[in-house]
């Protein structure tokens, strides 16, 4: 008789049928029906809900217009994926915690420190398994860099320069026209986009940040910079549409050929050229980038000092051609440089005057450099262990692990707005919160 444990299918509900919930995490679950099954979905957008239900074979009786209705009516769930908009994370997370299921929570977990305190307190009180979607830790790229640092390949780490090149078209899509364009509707750009990067810096450096300063602004995407002859929408006879890099027609129909994946499937469920053109004519993604209601910074720099003496800088910019992350780690006996999209890492060893570049292999259709797949696979495996053995192991990106990244982002935005350096409070202060 085999000693191998029998397969255990995890019963999962997804709250939020958008790009992350269904497109990223749900797509992995579809490829691994032996491990998990989506049994219920909630989303207030009925067209998205029905599309997701058809994709996962979920009957109409298990499709809900709200997360409240889903949690009220569904029993026997093993896990819940929360991929609702940023400002709608806390309430379903608190309710799921009380249900005692494992939770995969999209980042940023909360838009404010006050909400983060409530969530942390609830998780500690109920001892709930909450995994935060800091997918970069699960990528081969950053995992290899972490391994090199832990092995002391470049000696003692002294400084890090990290850059997130958002890509001009990506920034226009998400932070000018899209869901993350306004602070009051989502969160500051440095939190929404760069809490990933704060988390990676915290992980690689291996010590909490104690002080930071930040500078940034909304420098370009505003009415005062609108070219003469431009119109409210790109397809309304704009005289500069053919030369504007942010033209919706150029981005969605020419630069990025229509495909049934992000970002096209965010613009329209019908991703044919005709479907996209119709959506651009009336929807938010066809608006002139100089005439939107956006207010988040389009470029920002953060300088940080960590408790172990390491200094680091983070630059986030929407004005780059590449949509990638680059990193430069400087140690006492060498340095590491890397390009995330190219999966290329260069290690220099001063001791033997050696420089070597390696290319990592990641499946071509992987999002976030393979991090999405790694995150969900780890999450499902730990849920199976809990169900099989009654033991919950901490995730690589547990809520406890993710606190610092959010505190750094909150501090960075405070520094940017007030023009002062901000000292970060020790993490234990969060224990004083009450649910």
* CB-based burial label for 246 (10 Å; 0-12, 13-18, 19+): buried
Q: Does residue 40 have a pLDDT over 70?
A: yes
Is the confidence at residue 5, as pLDDT, over 60? no
Q: Is the pLDDT of residue 2 over 50?
A: no
Categorize the per-residue pLDDT at 363 as very low, low, confident or very high, splitting at 50, 70 and 90: low
**395 HSE (CA, 13 A, CB side):** 31
Q: At 8, is the pLDDT very low, low, confident or very high (cuts 50, 70, 90)?
A: confident
**Residue 324 bridge partners (DSSP):** 165
- What span, in angstroms and rounded, lies between the C-alpha atoms of 162 and 337? 10
> Nearest 5°: phi and psi at 246?
-100, 10
DSSP state of 398: B
**286 contacts: CB under 8 Å, gap ≥ 6:** 233, 234, 235, 248, 279, 280
pTM, rounded to two decimals: 0.93
Q: Is residue 142's pLDDT more than 60?
A: yes
Give yes or no for a contact between 186 and 180, defined as CB atoms under 8 angstroms apart.
Answer: yes
Contact 136, 195 (CB under 8 A): no
C-alpha span between 121 and 144 (Å, rounded): 33
Which has the minimum average pLDDT: 220-229, 308-317, 413-422, 425-434? 425-434
Nearest of 301, 320, 108, 291 to residue 217 by alpha carbon: 301
Average of per-residue pLDDT across 8-29: 94
Average pLDDT over residues 136-148: 97
Query: What is the rounded distance in angstroms from the CA atom of residue 24 to the CA atom of residue 191?
Result: 20
Q: Distance between CA atoms of 331 and 148, rounded to whole angstroms?
A: 11
Band of pLDDT at residue 346, cut at 50, 70 and 90: very high
pLDDT at 427: 63
Q: What is the pLDDT at residue 166? A: 97
The rounded distance, in Å, linking the Cα atoms of 296 and 180 is 8
Rounded CA-CA distance 40/14 in Å is 6
Candidates 67, 23, 5, 7; CA nearest to 373 is 23
Q: What pLDDT, on the 0 to 100 scale, is given for residue 365?
A: 57
Residue of 146, 163, 118, 140 lying closest to 202 (CA atoms): 146
- Which pair of structure tokens corresponds to residue 184? 């009051």
| Euclidean distance between CA atoms 273 and 123, whole angstroms | 46
DSSP state of 260: S
Q: H helices of 57-183, where?
A: 67-73, 90-99, 113-126, 140-150, 168-171
State both tokens at 88. 């709608």
Provide the mean pLDDT of the chain. 93
Residue 220's CB: how many other CB atoms inside 10 A? 17
Residue 364's pLDDT is 54
Task: Place 392 in a pLDDT band, splitting at 50, 70 and 90.
Answer: confident
CA dist., res. 403 & res. 84, Å (int): 19
Cα separation, 222 vs 174, in Å, equals 15
Cα–Cα separations (whole angstroms), residue 74 to 42, 83, 85, 86: 11, 18, 22, 24
pLDDT band at 148 (very low <50, low <70, confident <90, very high): very high
Q: What average pLDDT score do residues 298-322 get? A: 98
- The tokens describing 72, both together, are 């009220």
Q: How confident is the model at residue 258 (pLDDT cuts 50, 70, 90)?
A: confident
Average pLDDT over residues 102-131: 95
The span from the CA of 93 to the CA of 97, in Å, is 6
Beta partners for residue 306, in sequence order:
209
Residues 152 and 191: their CA atoms lie apart, in Å, by: 31
The alpha-helical segments, DSSP class H, found in 283-418 are 371-389, 399-418
| Two tokens, residue 32 | 């691994």
126 exposed, middle or buried (CB, 10 Å; 0-12, 13-18, 19+)? middle
Q: Are 176 and 221 in contact (CB under 8 A)?
A: yes
Beta carbons of 191 and 199 less than 8 angstroms apart: no
> Phi, psi (5° rounding) for residue 181?
-80, -20
Q: Which domains does the chain have, with CATH numbers?
A: 10-135+371-398 (3.40.50.720), 137-222+294-366+402-429 (3.30.360.10), 229-286 (no CATH)
Give the per-residue pLDDT at 6.
Answer: 52
Rounded distance between C-alpha atoms, residue 139 and residue 369, angstroms: 6
Is 90 exceeded by the pLDDT of residue 425?
no
Confidence category of residue 361, pLDDT binned at 50, 70, 90: confident
pLDDT at residue 434, rounded to an integer: 39
CB 120 within 8 A of CB 145: no
Q: Which residue is associated with the tokens 């549409």? A: 241
Percentage of the chain beyond pLDDT 90 is 89
Mean pLDDT of 358-375: 80
For residue 366, pLDDT beyond 90:
no
Point out the least confidently predicted range of 2-16, 92-106, 165-179, 333-347: 2-16
pLDDT of residue 406: 97
Note the pLDDT of residue 432. 43
């Amino acid at each position: 008789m085999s000693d191998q444990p029998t397969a255990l299918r995890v019963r999962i509900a997804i709250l939020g049928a958008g790009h992350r919930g269904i497109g990223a995490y749900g797509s992995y679950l579809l490829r691994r029906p032996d491990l998990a099954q989506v049994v219920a979905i909630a989303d207030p957008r009925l067209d998205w809900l029905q599309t997701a239900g058809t994709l996962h074979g979920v009957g109409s009786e298990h499709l809900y217009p709200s997360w409240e209705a889903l949690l009220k009516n569904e029993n026997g769930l093993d896990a819940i994926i929360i991929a609702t908009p940023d400002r709608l994370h806390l309430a379903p997370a608190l309710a799921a915690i009380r249900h005692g299921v494992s939770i995969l929570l999209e980042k940023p977990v909360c838009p404010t420190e006050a909400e983060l305190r409530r969530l942390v307190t609830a998780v500690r009180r109920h001892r709930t398994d909450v995994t935060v979607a800091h997918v970069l830790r699960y990528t081969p790229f950053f995992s290899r860099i972490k391994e090199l640092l832990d092995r002391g390949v470049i000696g003692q780490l002294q400084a890090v320069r990290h850059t997130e090149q958002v890509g001009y078209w990506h920034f226009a899509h998400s932070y000018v026209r899209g869901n993350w364009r306004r602070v009051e509707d989502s969160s500051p750009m440095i939190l929404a986009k760069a809490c990933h990067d704060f988390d990676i810096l915290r992980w690689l450096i291996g010590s909490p940040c104690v002080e930071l300063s930040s500078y940034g602004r909304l420098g370009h995407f505003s009415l005062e910079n609108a070219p003469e002859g431009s119109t409210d929408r790109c397809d309304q006879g704009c005289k500069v549409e053919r030369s504007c890099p942010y033209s919706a027609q150029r981005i969605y129909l020419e630069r990025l050929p229509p495909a049934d994946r992000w970002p096209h499937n965010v613009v329209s469920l019908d991703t044919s050229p005709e479907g996209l053109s119709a959506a651009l004519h009336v929807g938010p993604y066809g608006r002139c980038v100089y005439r939107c209601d956006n207010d988040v910074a389009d470029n920002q720099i953060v300088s940080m000092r960590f408790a172990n003496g390491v200094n680091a800088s983070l630059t986030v910019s929407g004005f780059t051609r590449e949509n990638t992350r680059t990193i430069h780690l400087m140690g006492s006996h060498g340095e590491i440089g890397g390009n995330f999209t190219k999966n290329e890492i260069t290690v220099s060893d001063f001791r033997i005057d050696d420089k070597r570049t390696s290319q990592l292999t990641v499946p071509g259709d992987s999002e976030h450099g393979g991090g999405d797949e790694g995150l969900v696979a780890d999450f499902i495996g730990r849920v199976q262990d809990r169900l099989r053995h009654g033991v919950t192991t901490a995730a690589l990106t547990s809520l406890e692990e993710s606190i610092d990244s959010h505190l750094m982002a909150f501090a960075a935005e405070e520094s940017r707005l007030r023009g002062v350096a901000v000292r970060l409070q020790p993490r234990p202060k969060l224990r004083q919160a009450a649910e």
